[in-house]
Each structure stands twice: as structure tokens, then as C-alpha cells.
Structure 1
Amino acid sequence: LWHGLTASTRKTYSTGQRQFIQFAQLHNLYNGDGSIIPASQPAILSWVASLGGWVQPKTIKSYLTAVRSLHTDAGLPFEAIDSPLVQRLICGIKRYHGEKERRPVQPVTLSVLTALLAQLRPSVTPGHTVIYAACCLAYSGLLRSGEFTTGKGGKFNPSLNLSRDCVTFQPNFANPTHARITLPASKTDPFCRGVTVTVAAAPGRPTCPVAALKAMFTELPREHDAPLFEQPDGKPLSYSYFVRSIRDALALASLNPNAFAGHSFRRGAASEAAATGYSDYKIQLLRRWRSDTYKLYVENDTNRILQLSFLLHLAHTQITPFEPPALRGFTALA
């Protein structure tokens, strides 16, 4: 039962669960038998009302999902979450307090990536060879930041994190035309079956992921089970170190460093793909989306993926932030 949720999901849920339990204890919101769960509707209403004004409505809903998970683990019903009163209270909080303006990170497009890489000094400054390769791969493979960095704990697990063994140069290391990266685990692969990402070489271009990876493997040889990317101190590349490094380079390139984060590479490559004229299906193919079931019945041609991957390194004039297909042409109801 415990393993029915991933460790990261349980860690996320723990915040909302802890908030509710502490609130119930503080305000003596116990059941007749002295227990806190199953949570009564009055207790949930009081807690949700207390969150209004300092917690976003979207976060309140996620907290309620976390509390429901607590009930599921205990085999207890949790009818309060579906109560019309609770839903109306959340709606009232949203109307009265409003929602903060969402500021998505800016995309690292080809021009931004080129400017960023120009500030790095591989083979000269410690750590820059790794950051250079990580940036090129993150962009070309449309990787999520969690797929090539470690979290706050910084612990490396070869069954979950990228290792040197996960990269193969095709047809050979000496003259590769592309590289295959096997992700041990990812957001869309919760059972860790492994997902292969294929990136094409872009000879002569500074953003070529294959050349950057080859240079890193040559300059910094490691054991096959070592982390793919390492910091100068030998620790696995953490998300915080990666973001700090790219922001330092972006600042040197006279760009606003705070406008970018780890997810900027995935978003930027998708924006480049949209500017190139890729169809929604092609972008979904590159991003490894599972939003359309028809993709499960289509054989993906490796040559086609390589061609799409290579085109990401060609400059295009008009770049607009990519929007998922489901949002295009959407008209809000009054």
C-alpha cells in the first residue's frame, strides 16, 4: 500500500497532511473518540477557511488531495472533500482574495542557449564542461530538470538517475551521428521501465549535444555506473547547482537570470519546434507526451526523430512560447 505512491509524491503530500493535523490539534478539532481522522466536515471547513488569503486556491485543493491520501492509507472514508460546501468555500476564497499572477519561466530558445553557452569555458573553468553538456542535452532532448539532476537530498540512485551507462554513441564513439540516452525513470514512466531519448548530432554547431557529451566523456572519464553529470566536488549534479550555474552564465550574457529555470530548456526547444512549423504530433513526439492514446499504436521512426532533433539547432526568426495543443483556440465560458 505504501509503495502505491512514489516517494516524491508522498513527500509532496506530507506538507498538506502536516498542515491539517497541526491545525486540528491547535484548535482541538478531534472526533468523539479523540481521533483526527476521518476528518469531519466542520474541521475541513475551518481549516480551508484559515488557509484563505495566504495560500493559493490551487494549493488548497492539492492540500485536500493530500489529506484524502491520508484517509486512503488508513482505509477510511473522506466524504468532506466532495462536499459542495467545501467546494463553494474554495470558490469564495478565489473570488474574494483572487489569485496571484502566474509567471512562467522564460524559454531557453536557440538564441538564448547560444548566448548562455558562449559564457561557459569548458576544459578551463571547473564544472563548465559538465554544465555545457547538460544544457545541450536538456535542450536537444527536451528533458525535464528532474531527469538529469538530483533533488534537494542530492542522493544518486542509478535505478532512478542518469549514469554514464545510460548514454550510447551511435554508430560508435569515434564518429557518432547521434546518441541514445536511456532515462531509468521519468514523470511519464512511474514504473521505471526505461525511456530512450534520441538526439541527433549537429556538426559544427555550438549547441550539438553529441559533441558536448563526447567532450565530457573524453575530458572526464568515469566508471560506467557513475552519475552522468557531476559537480566539481564530485557530487551528482543537483538542480540547485545547475540553475545557479546557468543563471550566472545568463547574467554574463546580459539576460535576466531570474526569468529562467531548469524547465526553460524543455519549453524553449518546444518553442523552437513550433516556430519551425512542427505539427502538434511531432512536438508531442519530441516531448514524449502521453496525452494522445493514438501514439501508443504508432511506430516511431528513428530517422524521423533524428531529423526533428537536428532541426532544433537551426535558427528561426519568429519564436513564440509553445502552448499545449489542448489550449489553442480555447474560449473561456462566461
Structure 2
Amino acid sequence: MIEGLRRKNPQKLDVRTPISFDLLKRLIHSLRSVCNSQYETILFSPAYSLAYFAMLRVSELAINSRTDESGHALKCEDITFDKSNGQTELHVKICSSKTDQKHTSITLIIQSHADSNICPITLLQSYLQVRFSGVNGSNKLYTHFNGLALTKYQFCSLLQKCLGFCELPFHIRSHSFRIGRATDMAKNGVKDDIIKQCGRWSSVAYLRYIRI
């Protein structure tokens, strides 16, 4: 109850800028100039796209550190593609998260997007075709060319480099993907209960993510 009150009445002003749909396109496009290799571009593109479209936390995309893979980061087996409805859907199983410490799990259904340059399904399929699958690689979904899992530091560090390349505000953070998606949905007239469901919010805390 105390934690719930703290989140509802934060002491500090949240100045994180949302990553809108248009900013997402710029960030993904900038990866070609910022990344050190084509593989890294193919790796971070779906990570950015899924962070936005699935409203994921960075802890659900990347591990805490190279010596600690015990967090909530997605594994390959958490990702499935469903073509039963005539169109390909991406099913993302969130086995645990910051707000699901008991591993209740939930499956998110992500639709494709007409623009293949930012489509989470197209980008993820392209990445999985080249993903390291050797015996010494991590079982996490996002891994580097050498098989090591993507870390939170690496995710956030490259995001800052992309922001610098695009000359965007540096107070954009990893959570800005989640904030941006919630804001865009609200601007497009999506009902509050749908936004709450997509963002996995169970309280009015979702209102702090909508910046209109």
C-alpha cells in the first residue's frame, strides 16, 4: 500500500521525454550510422521497435549485467509467431517483470506494421535469422554477435548515442519508449482500459505516462 501511494504521488517531477512514433522512426534509422556493425543494427532495431510497440521495460529486454542474467529479460522461447488469422501476429510471453515477481506471466499480442523499417515483426524475424545460436551463447533473446546477452547499460548507452546523432533531448531514457507508446495511444483516441491492459497497469499509475 505504501509503495502504491509513493507511485501515485511521486516526489520528483518526471521530466523524461516520450519517444513518439515519429521519434522511433528516427532512432531506428540512426542505428545504421551509430552502430559499429550491421549485426548490431539488426540487433537493436527490433529491440527499439518492441520496446515501443509492446511498451516493454528495459529489464524485459536486457540483462542487469554480464555477470547477472537472473532478471526478467526475454528468452527466445518467449517469442512465437502466429499466422492463424491470415496475418502474422507476434506473441510475447512476459514470464516475470518488476510488477510480476510471482511469475504469473502474461502474453502480449503485437500486430505487424505497414512500414517494414519499424515493424516489430519484420525486424525481429530478420534478427532471428542471423542471431548467434552457438552452444556457448546466452539463452536471452537479444544477444551480440559473440553470443553474449544485451545488457541494460549497452541498451541505454547506444540510445544516448542515437539521441546525440539525431540531436534530440538527452532526457529521453529507456522508459521513454513506454511513455511514448502510451501517449500516442491516448492521442489516437484509444480507450483508457485498453492502454492499461497493453501497458500492464493495474492502477491509475498509467496516467503519469500520458503526456498530452
**Deviating 4+ runs (over 6 angstroms):** none
Closer/same/farther in 2, CA of residues 236 and 183 from structure 1, 3 Å limit? same
Quote the residue 2:99 is aligned against.
188
> Which structure would you say has the larger RCO, counting Cα contacts within 8 Å and 6 or more residues apart?
2
Q: What SS does the aligned partner of 1:198 have?
A: strand
CA distance in 1, matches of 2:132, 2:29: 24
Assess, with a 3 A threshold, how the Cα gap between structure 1 residues 248 and 225 changes in structure 2: closer, same or farther: closer
2:30 aligned to 116, 119, 129, which one?
Answer: 119
Report what 1:135 is aligned to. 48
> Are residues 1:248 and 2:180 paired?
no
Q: Give the count of matched residue pairs.
A: 197
Aligned with 2:155: secondary structure?
helix
* SS, match of residue 259 in structure 1: coil
Matched, 1:262 2:174: yes
Distance apart, 1:165 and its partner CA? 0.8
8 Å contact kept, 2:131–2:145: no
Q: Is the 1:123–1:129 Cα contact (8 Å) retained in structure 2?
A: no
Which residues in structure 2 correspond to 1:5-16 (within 5 Å)? none
Secondary structure in 1 matching 2:107? strand
Compared CA separation, residues 244 and 123, structure 1 to 2 (3 A): closer
Query: Which residue does 1:310 correspond to in 2?
Result: none
Counterpart in the other structure of 2:3:
none
Question: 1:74-223, aligned counterparts within 5 Å?
Answer: 102-121=13-32, 124-152=37-65, 154-157=67-70, 160-171=72-83, 177-222=88-133
Residues 108, 269 of structure 1: 8 Å contact kept: yes
8 Å CA contact 2:62, 2:152 repeated in 1? yes
Give the whole-Å Cα distance in 2 for the aligned partners of 1:323 and 1:191.
Answer: 21
Say whether 1:324 aligns with 2:207.
yes
Summarize deviations over 1:36-87 as a string: whole Å, max 9, x none. Answer: xxxxxxxxxxxxxxxxxxxxxx8xxxxxxxxxxxxxxxxxxxxxxxxxxxxx
Instruction: State the secondary structure of the residue aligned to 1:202.
Output: coil
Amino acid at match of 1:324: L
Q: Give the partner amino acid of 1:199.
A: I
CA RMSD, Structure 1 to Structure 2 (Å): 3.1
Structure-2 separation of matches of 1:105 and 1:167 = 29
The TM-score with structure 2 as length reference comes to 0.81
User: Which runs of 5 or more structure 2 residues have no equivalent in the other structure?
Assistant: 1-5
Question: In the alignment, which of 171, 179, 195 is matched to residue 283 of structure 1?
Answer: 195
- Equivalent-residue separation in structure 1 for 2:179 and 2:73 (angstroms): 21
Q: CA deviation at 1:177?
A: 1.5
TM-score (normalised: structure 1): 0.53
**Consecutive unaligned residues in structure 1, runs of 5 or more:** 1-57, 59-98, 293-321, 329-334
1:192–1:323 Cα change, 3 Å: closer
Distance 2:130 2:197 in 1: 33
